[in-house]
């Protein structure tokens, strides 16, 4: 099935999708058309369409309901819907959601349909925590705003229909921070940052502007003194194959069991030192999945990753391990990653 498409039989030509699409991938006219080349598969049009004319292969409302159903059967009545861009692990919600809850991690919470709320209420979920990114942190420009508006709308709708469902909105973002004691004032982060978010303070120590930082992690991966930190998935070498993927290049996260999967906020955050450490301690193959450069959500993350990985491969060739690291360019539009992993 295609990643996303418009079913013309159902389309009422209301052009809502056209007005919400952040990438101008939908054109209105005689027929509403979707230009898959421009599309980034955020699914905001899918959740906006009033006549269910937009079909997507990933994270449909049916899929979401099915995903929370087993937890409901265990008596869990709280669900957390979080964006993968700003949430790492389940325990970030422990304090808000209690010990037991069902958790769904989506690429953009803007793709949650209004339908989902009453259907979840019907299933027995009486508390939903929606955790989109902060507005200016959203990778799909309007996704976080739409998610927030929709939560508000759902709240009103459920109140009117007399259902008791608590909807909590929790905004999150993951940004880089400098450890002032480690900074050597070399200025690498300033050169690397695509958002001009880093400055050197008067004594020469880097400072990251939290308003501007978009959390791509490029500075974290290149800081020579390892002085920049960001909440990110770390990994220990364990399985023979290590797949390091940008969390936006692949939505289908089920991989063979012998593969260790590490999700990063962007391929630009790949730390070649970590890769080397894994190779030394037993990993025999490292696969890096990155977005195509024109599809990179974080300006030049993919480009920086390519540069860094190719210089690593050059060095590895000289020590006889040139085949160990490979980069795969993929996109949710053409899910080829699983085949590449097996190859």
Partner 1 sequence: MIVTKQKKIEEILGFLGPYKKILVVGCDGCTQPPRSTREADTLALLVEMGSKVGGAAKKCSATTVVKQCDNQIVASALNPQIVGYDAILSLACGIGVQVLAEILPVPVYPAQDTMFMGSQERELGTMDERCKGCGECVLYRTAGVCPVTRCAKGLMNGPCGGCFKGKCEVTEESRDEKGNVKILTHDCAWYQIYEGLKKMNRLDLFRTYTPPKSRLISTPPRQVR
CB of 186 to partner 1, least distance (A): 4
In the window 213-232, what residues touch partner 1 (CB under 8 A)? 222-226
The number of beta carbons lying within 10 Å of the beta carbon of residue 187 is 12
Give the H or E element holding residue 96.
Answer: helix 94-97
Using CB atoms within 10 Å of the CB of residue 156, give its burial: 0 to 12 exposed, 13 to 18 middle, 19+ buried: exposed
Q: What is the 3-state secondary structure (H, E, C) of 206-246?
A: EEECCCCCCCCCHHHHHCCCCCEECCCCCCCCCCCEEEEEE
Among 153, 191, 210, 310, binds partner 1 (CB under 8 A): 191
- The binding track of 78-117 with respect to partner 1, each residue x by CB under 8 A or -, is ----------------------------------------
Considering only the stretches 124-132, 251-259, 284-292, 313-321, report the one whose residues sit in contact with partner 1 under the rule CB under 8 A: 313-321
Instruction: Rule CB under 8 A: say whether 156 interacts with partner 1.
Output: no
In the window 261-280, what residues touch partner 1 (CB under 8 A)? 272-273, 276-277, 279-280
| Nearer to partner 1 (CB atom), residue 46 or residue 235 | 235
Strand pairing class (285-291; 241-246): parallel
- The binding track of 113-152 with respect to partner 1, each residue x by CB under 8 A or -, is ----------------------------------------
Radius of gyration of the chain (CA): 21
Instruction: Rule CB under 8 A: say whether 11 interacts with partner 1.
Output: no
Among 149, 156, 184, 339, binds partner 1 (CB under 8 A): 184
Among 165, 188, 267, 283, binds partner 1 (CB under 8 A): 188
Report the alpha-carbon angle 182-187-188, nearest 5. Answer: 90
Instruction: Rule CB under 8 A: say whether 318 interacts with partner 1.
Output: yes
Helix-strand-coil split of the chain, %, nearest 5 = 35, 20, 45
List residues bridging with 219 in a β-sheet.
none
Interacting residues toward partner 1 by CB under 8 A:
184, 186, 188, 190-191, 222-226, 272-273, 276-277, 279-280, 315-316, 318-321
């Amino acid at each position: 099935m295609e990643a996303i498409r418009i079913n013309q039989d159902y389309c009422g030509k209301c052009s809502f999708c056209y007005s919400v699409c952040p990438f101008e991938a939908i054109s209105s006219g005689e027929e509403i058309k979707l230009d898959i080349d421009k599309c980034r598969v955020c699914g905001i049009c899918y959740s906006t369409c009033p006549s269910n004319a937009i079909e997507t292969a990933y994270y449909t409302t049916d899929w979401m309901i099915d995903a929370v159903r087993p937890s409901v059967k265990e008596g869990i009545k709280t669900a957390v819907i979080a964006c993968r861009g700003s949430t790492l692990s389940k325990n970030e919600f422990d304090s808000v959601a209690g010990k037991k809850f069902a958790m769904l991690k989506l690429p953009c919470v803007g793709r949650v349909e209004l339908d989902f709320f009453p259907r979840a209420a019907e299933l027995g979920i009486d508390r939903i925590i929606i955790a989109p990114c902060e507005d200016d942190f959203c990778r799909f420009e309007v996704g976080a705003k739409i998610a927030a508006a929709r939560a508000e709308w759902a709240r009103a709708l459920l109140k009117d229909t007399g259902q008791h469902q608590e909807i909590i909105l929790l905004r999150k973002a993951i940004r880089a921070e400098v450890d002032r004691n480690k900074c050597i004032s070399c200025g690498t982060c300033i050169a690397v940052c695509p958002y001009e978010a880093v400055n050197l303070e008067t004594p020469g120590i880097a400072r990251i502007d939290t308003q501007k930082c978009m959390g791509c992690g490029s500075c974290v991966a290149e800081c020579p003194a390892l002085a920049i930190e960001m909440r990110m998935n770390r990994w220990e070498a364990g399985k023979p194959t290590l797949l390091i993927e940008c969390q936006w290049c692949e939505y289908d996260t089920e991989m063979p069991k012998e593969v260790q999967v590490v999700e990063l906020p962007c391929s630009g955050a790949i730390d070649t030192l970590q890769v080397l450490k894994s190779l030394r301690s037993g990993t025999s193959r490292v696969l890096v999945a990155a977005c195509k450069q024109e599809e990179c959500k974080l300006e030049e993350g993919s480009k920086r990753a390519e540069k860094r990985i190719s210089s690593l491969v050059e060095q590895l060739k000289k020590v006889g391990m040139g085949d160990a690291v490979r980069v795969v360019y993929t996109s949710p539009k053409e899910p080829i990653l699983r085949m590449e992993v097996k190859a």
